[in-house]
Amino acid sequence: MKKSFICLLCILILGSCADKKSSESETVDVVLVGGGIMSVTLANMLNELDPDMTMIAYERLDAVGQESSSAWNNAGTGHSALCELNYTPELKDGSIDTHKAVEINESFEISKEFWSYLVGNNKIGPPKTFINPTPHMSFVIGEDNVKYLKKRFLALQKEPLFTGMEFSDDQKQINNWIPLVMNGRDSSQKVAATKIDIGTDVNYGALTNELTSNLVKSGKMKLEVNHEVSDFKRNEDGTWKVYIKDLKNNTTKTINAKFVFIGAGGATLPLLEKTHIPEAKGYGGFPVSGEWLVCNNPKIIAQHQAKVYGKASVGSPPMSVPHLDTRIIDGKKELLFGPFAGFSSKFLKNGTWADLPASFNFYNIRPMLEAGLDNVPLTKYLVEQVVLTPEQRLAALQEYFPKAKMEDWDLKIAGQRVQVIKIDNTTRRGILQFGTEVVTASDGSVAALLGASPGASTSVSIMLKVIEKCFKNELKTSKWQEKIKEMIPSYGQKLSDNIPLANEIRKNNSEKLGIVWKEIHMVAPKTETP
């Protein structure tokens, strides 16, 4: 009896030890949630700064770059404000605000610097698999819009980084640039266009795969696909216990991380809320879906070689700015028009209808309701877009391609975006904020990226902000400073204020990436546009 009791006790003790051992989790330096352009950009930057960092990325789909980074789910524009009119608003006094345009232009230059560094070191490439030279153009119709575009052009002439931009309101000249847009157009119609040849088309899905392969093949990052991060818990030592579900085996496991980056697109907001960090309180999201018209006629596709952006409708989100768009996707030239906006309560293209209602909580319900009340025109616009008929979509296309025929175009679902809702620091009311926002824990142990356009294009500068906030002590070291300036030679400087450096950077980028550049010249002192 006594012997049996001792045996039973030993079994219980050993079982307890086994349970304890099985509950222990591996600890890594970095966990990346989501396999999109943001996560793998950050992973590559951190690996260059500290090759000894241990990293693991979790992606819920069966491959990386399938949601917002996919070539079919975004515009593929190297967003540099060369053609996007929403980055140069006309102010009440009639002047053009170029501040945002210059900021975005410099941010895209930073992205090209890092890509050039990786290509030059044979870590990604060849570059034509993800970036190709494509002229960027703005095109407007109507007398008021022509006046606006002329003022915009004159204002940007005072900005060195926009050297090489041309303007015309002559139909014959514009026909030379974009014959598809002008063929069949009423000769009495007032139109204008700007054109600049340094623009690019970027396949962010292909780039995401290149960046991922660079780390996975070299053993610098472990990638787990079909794995969904479901929760977080703060450990006593300040690290994070990350809960991951294996979607194929329906099992759950955990891993400890010193730093967590949540770059999961539309899924970022609900995951950020699960960290319970104070900085996440008050944030909400508003989902916007989209659709493309995709040309199926090779003869038409061959006639167009530019990204042509128009003016957005009143109340529409930036992702809905209409454009007739030359794309290079997986080595094949494509022609897209759109996107047409729509509404879905999903936060991801592969999400669920419960995403939006599930995102409401005690802290964000007021700002979300306030933002909704203050954006009635957006709601009206989305409703109108949802009920568009095929004939109405064709009519919208014909504004940019007068001879378009329905049989030459197919409708394709585009990506899902979640616009940021937050509390405005001045009014203390909820606002709908377009663009991107980085949310970080006060101790730098967690960072999350919310928002949308121009996200992918400015991924490197956004991830620099993450590094500056979350690895501030390491960044102060001479080792990291030297390396970051090797990766991004313009780091800490404004290209618009340093023309020799800007020329040097752009020339190097063009040589490494196979894209166009124009030598930048000093411009006259900035004055108000008359």
Instruction: Report pLDDT digits (tens) over 96-142.
Output: 999 999 999 999 999 999 999 999 999 999 999 999 999 999 999 99
Average of per-residue pLDDT across 449-470: 91
pLDDT bracket for residue 489 (50, 70, 90): very high
pLDDT at 417: 82
Average of per-residue pLDDT across 64-78: 89
Q: Is the pLDDT of residue 412 over 60?
A: yes
138: phi then psi, degrees, rounded to nearest 5: -115, 140
pLDDT bracket for residue 217 (50, 70, 90): very high
Average of per-residue pLDDT across 153-172: 96
pLDDT bracket for residue 440 (50, 70, 90): very high
Largest CA distance in the chain: 106
Q: Got the DSSP string for 84-125?
A: -GGGSPBPTTS-B--HHHHHHHHHHHHHHHHHHHHHHTTSS-
Q: What percent of the chain has pLDDT over 70?
A: 92
Q: 3-state class of 401 per DSSP?
A: coil
pLDDT bracket for residue 313 (50, 70, 90): low
pLDDT at 321: 80
Q: Is the pLDDT of residue 529 over 50?
A: no
pLDDT at 320: 62
Distances in Å between the Cα of 338 and the Cα atoms of 34, 199, 412 are 27, 19, 10
Least confident of 11-20, 31-40, 272-281, 378-387: 11-20
For the beta carbon of residue 318, count every other beta carbon within 10 angstroms: 18
Q: Mean pLDDT of all residues in the chain?
A: 90
Question: Is the model more confident about 477 or about 78?
Answer: 477
Q: Got the DSSP string for 483-518?
A: HHHHH-TTTTS-GGG-HHHHHHHHHHHHHHHT----
Q: Is the pLDDT of residue 23 over 60?
A: no
- Roughly what angle, to the nearest 10 degrees, separates helices 459-470 and 37-49? 50
pTM for the model stands at: 0.91
Q: Is the pLDDT of residue 487 over 70?
A: yes
* 43: nearest Cα among 107, 149, 124, 108: 124
Cα distance between residue 200 and residue 78, in whole Å? 5
pLDDT bracket for residue 524 (50, 70, 90): low
pLDDT at 15: 44
Cα distance between residue 43 and residue 387, in whole Å? 42
pLDDT at 14: 44
Average of per-residue pLDDT across 188-209: 97
Cα distance between residue 442 and residue 447, in whole Å? 10
Cα distance between residue 530 and residue 527, in whole Å? 9
Cα distance between residue 284 and residue 270, in whole Å? 9
For the beta carbon of residue 238, count every other beta carbon within 10 angstroms: 9
pLDDT at 318: 56
Helices (H), 195-351: 204-217, 268-275, 298-301
